[in-house]
Amino acid sequence: MKKIILLLFSLGLIVIGGPIIGSATTQNMTDGNDLAQQWDRFNLLIPREAVYVKTAHQYGTQQAHGDYLYRQPAYRADGSHYEVVFQAPRALKPNHYLKLDAKGRFVNSWTVVSKSELPVKLQSSL
């Protein structure tokens, strides 16, 4: 009985602790690292939030298959920022605003928004 309890405790520790430790150790790995994005995607402690970016050609690079990979700072509604990596099927027009549906470094989707739709704190800084 003690072995079963110890085994269940160990498995629970791995299942719960794995994503937490993984997310903490890959916190600064925003170089398009798929592992870091997947940790954030499935980590229950990271909230899903809207973040905002302003497009520019300097952030995008064309991939071999024709898509564009964008690596740029994303801003939360409170003004804090971090780097995100996301893909677009075509080159994005410069000086447009995007609202990213993100969970940490994992970007689920993006939509084009106008400057008036940005949070008040970001309207002057972006």
Q: How confident is the model at residue 43, as a pLDDT?
A: 81
pTM of the model: 0.72
CATH code of the domain made up of 2-123 = 2.40.50.480
Model confidence over 56-114: pLDDT tens digits? 888 888 888 888 989 999 999 999 998 888 889 999 999 999 999 999 888 999 999 99
Token pair, residue 13, equals: 């520790």
Cβ partners under 8 Å of residue 52, min gap 6: 74, 75, 77, 97, 98, 99, 100, 113, 118, 119, 122, 126
In the chain, domain spans: 2-123
Using CA atoms, how far apart are residues 6 and 35, in angstroms rounded to an integer? 29
Q: How confident is the model at residue 114, as a pLDDT?
A: 93
